[in-house]
Structure 1
């Protein structure tokens, strides 16, 4: 457990884990309520961007004839893997930055 507390009163690692546990919605909630923890804000931003992009990719894959269902199935597997990895790394208090999206989240964090 992290010795540091977020402005919500939760340990930072638990708050960051909740950003991923409830995927897109958890990230939005913590973006709205977190006031000081850069760790929690980073994971909230990364959660919103990651799962938002995956939702858009799922919608777009439904528009592709024939191979769309295969792409959607692969996206579902990728989503599960990313979700589990991010749950465990944030619970351990690690700053795992996903390719591309992690960079965007980090840049946005500088403006908060």
Structure 2
């Protein structure tokens, strides 16, 4: 695991990227403070968007009174989402969740040209 770069936190970027899937506060903080690693910023943003979609799904299920028996489904999806994405991030995979993954990746590189330039130069 020595081939991973360091994030702005001083930890290996694979560990920080995996930690961004633990809860909703983590990715917000990591996205805000990370300055060097596009890998960490991508996973933090993808985590925020994923949890936001799960929250919207939970609200929609809660608002529709006829499907009260599905209230547990978004929680189970969130657990699966967190565990599977933590595993992928820890092993260095830039897995893009359909729809939100490409958006997150494009946003990271479009709004952080210094990251894109440093990665292109091999820094």
TM-score, scaled relative to structure 2: 0.82
C-alpha distance in structure 1 between counterparts of 2:4 and 2:73, whole Å: 38
Give yes or no for the alignment of 1:37 onto 2:37: yes
With over 3 angstroms needed to count, the CA separation of the structure-2 counterparts of 1:68 and 1:111, relative to structure 1, is farther
Runs of at least 4 residues of structure 1 off by over 4 A?
none
Larger CA Rg, structure 1 vs 2: 2
Provide the residue aligned with 1:9 in structure 2: 10
Deviations 1:4-56 (A, max 9, x none): 101110100011011012x2211101111100100000000001100011112
Contact 1:62 1:69 in 2 (8 A): no
Question: C-alpha distance in 1, partners of 2:4/2:87?
Answer: 17
**How high is the TM-score relative to the length of structure 1?**
0.90
Root-mean-square deviation (CA, aligned residues, Å) is 1.3
- Which residue does the alignment assign to 2:24? 24
Q: Take 1:91 and 1:18, find their aligned partners in 2: how far apart are those partners? A: 9
Question: Which residue is equivalent to 1:74?
Answer: 73
Q: Secondary structure at the match of 2:72?
A: helix
In 1, distance between residues paired with 2:79 and 2:44?
Answer: 18
Instruction: Tell me the CA shift for residue 111 of structure 1.
Output: 2.4
